[in-house]
Amino acid sequence: MSQNHKAIGQFALACLAIFLMSGCNPNATPPNQTEDATLSDTSPMAIAEQGDQSMSALMSALMHPQRPESHRARDVHRHPVETLAFFGVTPEMTVIELSPGGGWYSEILARYLKDKGQLIAAHWDMNADLSEGYRRARRQYDERFGDVDQFGNVQIIPFSPPQSTNLGDENSADVVLSFRNVHSWQRSASLPTVFAAAFDVLKPGGVFGVVGHRLPEDREQDPESRSGYVKESHVIAVAEAAGFVLDGRSEINANPLDTADHPNGVWNLAPSLRIADGDENDYAAIGESDRFTLRFKKAM
């Protein structure tokens, strides 16, 4: 086992210990997390209080021996255990992941939901007007997550806003998740349509979890979000216009080292590190982008 693998394992076990200890104290607040007064009972503490079965399944998915080392290296920046616990994802749920790209979160979710739940991946629509790069990404995703033994029966549905946005039958999903892609829908002027589709497919009481690259509130929002950064307040406003209620916000994925003013936007930072000027090591030292983590609910 590599030193990096050991470090990730120690980090994951520490997370588990924190959650379990928090479950013993209902008034405890986990590190690096802030929540507002509208929070429901889907905090990490509440998840831990359900017993260690769900957390054990999540840790098993995170530490799976076939999970690529390059993916493990992102855990320290993306905090998957804390994030999925904050969104209240449990193993028996039906979860839709929007625009999953190469499947960094999908591999964790698929293994987590494999036995009792269902992962639905809303990926590029091959009948839409796509570049070859997007088509290749979809083919690679299909090939990888077609391995039923590893990932269970992952359902893949076409999703290419604004051309195709239907996520399934109304009131059929427990959770819809978006990781680092609201800027793409902002650029295509389809963010309200996507959020409305998420609202429609969720059951009453269902959760819409959103992680996005955060533009400071004192900056002007580019309508096309060419930097990849989007104001947290803008995302909240669009979600509320779609009918959602803000149920919680967290600083789990915050990064105060990110100034959000890079020449190539978020793509200057890891994992892309698209450097035109400057030292790659300087950008690598920043880590990944500063991100908001928002939990919305569809009212009962």
Q: What whole-number percentage of the chain has pLDDT above 90?
A: 78
Is 0.75 surpassed by the pTM of this model? Answer: yes
Segment 78-117, tens digit of pLDDT: 999 999 999 999 999 999 999 999 999 999 999 999 999 9
With a cut of 60, say whether residue 145 has pLDDT above it.
yes
pLDDT at 54: 86
pLDDT at 158 over 60: yes
Mean pLDDT (the chain, rounded): 87
Q: Cα(253)–Cα(80) distance, rounded to whole angstroms?
A: 9
Please provide residue 174's backbone torsions phi and psi, each rounded to the nearest 5 degrees. Answer: -85, -35
Q: Name the residue with tokens 């929007």.
A: 98
- pLDDT tier for residue 44 given thresholds of 50, 70 and 90: very low
Q: Among 54-58, 128-132, 228-232, 236-240, which is the least confidently predicted range?
A: 54-58
Helix/strand/coil (H/E/C) assignment for every residue in the chain: CCHHHHHHHHHHHHHHHHHHHHHHCCCCCCCCCCCCCCCCCCCHHHHHHCCHHHHHHHHHHHCCCCCCHHHHCCHHHHCHHHHHHHCCCCCCCEEEEECCCCCHHHHHHHHHHCCCCEEEEEECCCCCCCCHHHHHHHHHHHHHHCCHHHHCCCEEEECECCCECCCCCCCCEEEEEEECCHHHHHHCCCHHHHHHHHHHHEEEEEEEEEEEEEECCCCCCCCCCCCCCEEHHHHHHHHHHCCCEEEEEECCCCCCCCCCCCCCHHHHCCCCCCCCCCCHHHHHHHCCCCEEEEEEECCC
pLDDT in tens, 54-64: 888 999 999 99
Q: Mind listing the domains of the chain with CATH numbers?
A: 78-297 (3.40.50.150)
Does residue 4 have a pLDDT over 70? Answer: no
Overall residue count recorded for the chain in this entry: 300
* d(C-alpha 80, C-alpha 277), whole Å: 32
Distance, in Å, from the CA atom of 142 to the CA atom of 157, rounded to the nearest integer, reads 11
